[in-house]
Amino acid sequence: KQQQQQQKQQQLITEEAMTVTRDTEPTKKLVPIPKPGSSDAAFIIEQISSWRSGLQVKVDKNAEALDLLARTCLDRRGSDASYVDASQLDDPDPEFVANRPTRGGAAEPFPERLFRLLMEVELRNESDIISFQPHGRAFVIHDSHRFCREVMPRYFSQSSRASFHRQLNLYGFARITTGPDAGGFYHELFLKGRP
């Protein structure tokens, strides 16, 4: 039953690992997440060869990172969620990051704004409000009242803690409930020093 549920989730969850364009009008082709253990390159080649001729295909340079993100989000919904060490992945190409298309019209996506917030709070010596943990793999809000009152208005149009948590959930962040980082939030691809 769990395997059927995961297969159903795998069909429902898709990543835009490829952008397909015809002439000048872009269309998005949703690419199913490859099954764990399959070769990403073989999967992409198989998808490209199955599409009609006449389409120009631009393969996302960060397909590996997107695939990892999608698989870990899928894993979290299952019972055997495990941490993936994304610090071993190569940094994205700076040119790609600078020229990537924005989603939903946001000039600075939520994770990038959150990363900037954490870096600037540290520079302002406000780490008693919110900060990365020393290992850099999670962050903690130490003083939620000051965070909502002083920090959030500088970076977000809203200052509701519930809205902030919804954004974290939307982008796949998980709350840590046990251990020394309890109360913090983490995401495998959200690491201090790696914007």
21-64 confidence digits (pLDDT tens): 444 444 444 545 555 555 555 555 555 555 434 443 444 445 55
pLDDT in tens, 59-92: 444 555 556 555 555 555 443 445 555 555 555 5
- 157, 172 contact by CB (below 8 A): no
CA 46 to chain centre: 25
75 CB-contact burial (10 Å; exposed 0-12 / middle 13-18 / buried 19+): middle
> What is the CATH number that goes with domain 110-186?
1.10.10.10
The structure tokens listed for 11 are 């069909």
* Segments of the chain assigned to CATH 1.10.10.10: 110-186
Q: Is the pLDDT of residue 140 over 70?
A: yes
- Residue among 170, 180, 77 nearest 138 (CA): 180
Residue 49 has, within 13 A of its CA and on its CB side, a CA count of: 6
pLDDT grade for 95, boundaries at 50, 70 and 90? low
* pLDDT at residue 99 tops 50: yes
Query: How far, in Å, CA of 191 to CA of 135, rounded?
Result: 9
Tell me the H-state helices in the chain.
2-12, 40-50, 63-77, 94-99, 110-123, 144-146, 152-155, 161-170
Q: How confident is the model at residue 193 (pLDDT cuts 50, 70, 90)?
A: confident
Residue 155 buriedness (CB in 10 A; 0-12 / 13-18 / 19+): middle
Predicted confidence band at 8 (pLDDT cuts at 50, 70, 90)?
low
